[in-house]
Amino acid sequence: MKTTKWDIFTELKTEDDIQAFVEASIEEAENDTDPSLLAHALGVAAKARGMLNVSRETGVDRAGLYRSFTKGGDPRISTFDKVARSMGYHITLAPVHSHTST
């Protein structure tokens, strides 16, 4: 039996598809302790939009985007933020648990 490599980005054909994928990834990342999950998802979305386009929008060279957002990549927060903003998102921090003063 012959198998072929499948990549989700080939299924992301419209901006709505990409947005739904990113939002599902954000929800999944909220329940996961591995921050690379969201970085990988942004990389898939960037690939679906076209790395050259994302590179032009963010000012980050295409090779740098590939290095940062492929599996095992570790993007700088500034690069992550630029790519997220190019996709219509911004980074926010929220407390893991409520902090009450005594």
* Span 39-91, pLDDT tens digits: 888 999 999 999 999 999 999 999 999 999 987 888 999 999 999 999 999 98
Helix (H) or strand (E) holding 5: none
Tokens of 50: 């076209």
pTM above 0.75, yes or no: yes
Positive or negative, the Cα torsion across 9, 49, 68, 93? Answer: negative
Q: Looking at this protein, which amino acid is placed at residue 93?
A: L
Domains of the chain, residue spans: 8-86
